[in-house]
Amino acid sequence: MSNILVVIGSARTGRVADKVAEYVTSNIEAREGVTATVVDLAALNLPFYNNEQPAMSPDRDQTDENVATWSKFVSEADSVVFITPEYNHNLSAIQKNALDWLFFEWNDKPVTAVAYGWSGGSLAVAALREVLTNVKAEVAIDMAQLGFMKDLNPDGSLLDEANVTAQIAAAIDEIVVPAGEPVTV
Ligand SMILES: Cc1cc2nc3c(=O)[nH]c(=O)nc-3n(C[C@H](O)[C@H](O)[C@H](O)COP(=O)(O)O)c2cc1C
């Protein structure tokens, strides 16, 4: 059984992220031998990064209960998909903070995104790629980029369902760890 962690990267009231997460989890749950675990960063309530040591240091401190939970979520996942809004041509702060809290947990982890925004969240995707490369994740080639007024309405409802479905399927295809393959944790 392959376990994909779906990370909701918005804390906004009335966020579109919930609808996009629903499209993504439906795709995952329709697959045989694959499960989805959803983590809502708003509910997880991580502190802003406040460790004396960076996350890549063996001396880092993960005594904060929410940080330890986040570390466990990522460690136990076979792969990760971020539900990624674009804020000011970049990642949302809550998502960047969550990325910064971990390092070893990201190493060799297959990670993708389903991004959305007026240009498909393309600049958030570019920023995400840079961070994931730095934490030595296995960065997906084809991340999904859903455009407002093209693929989705700005409230997250579907405009071009076929294209949304195809993009999400391609993104998830790339990070599914085939059954029987050793899992990196
Ligand atoms: C602080 C902020 C900055 C934003 N910047 C961008 C942007 O740079 N590009 C874009 O396409 N949309 C931008 N938007 C609009 C978002 O794409 C839109 O609000 C989207 O619904 C955010 O996702 P969420 O509802 O899941 O939080 C911004 C929204 C906020 C709140």
- CATH number of residue 30's parent domain: 3.40.50.360
- Looking at the domain assignment, is residue 110 inside a domain? yes
Domain range enclosing 86: 3-11+15-48+63-175
Print pLDDT tens along the chain (185 aa).
Answer: 899 999 999 999 999 999 999 999 999 999 999 999 999 999 999 999 999 999 999 999 999 999 999 999 999 999 999 999 999 999 999 999 999 999 999 999 999 999 999 999 999 999 999 999 999 999 999 999 999 999 999 999 999 999 999 999 999 999 997 766 555 54
pLDDT of residue 44: 98
Residue among 18, 23, 87, 89 to mutate when testing ligand 1 (max atoms within 8 A of CB): 87
- Please indicate, yes or no, if residue 163 is contained in any of the structural domains: yes
Q: Which atom of ligand 1 is nearest to the CA of 116?
A: 17
| 184 is a domain residue | no
Q: Is residue 53 part of a domain?
A: no
Number of domains comprising the chain: 1
CA 45, 96, 87, 48: dihedral to nearest 10 degrees?
A: 40
Q: Is residue 183 part of a domain?
A: no
User: What are residue 85's phi and psi, to 5 degrees?
Assistant: -80, 165
3-state secondary structure 18-66: HHHHHHHHHHHHCCCCEEEEEEEHHHHCCCCCCCCCCCCCCCCCCCCHH
Q: Which of 142, 143, 160, 140 is nearest to 151 (CA)?
A: 160
> Which helix or strand (DSSP H or E) is residue 124 part of?
helix 122-134
CA of 10, closest atom in ligand 1: 27
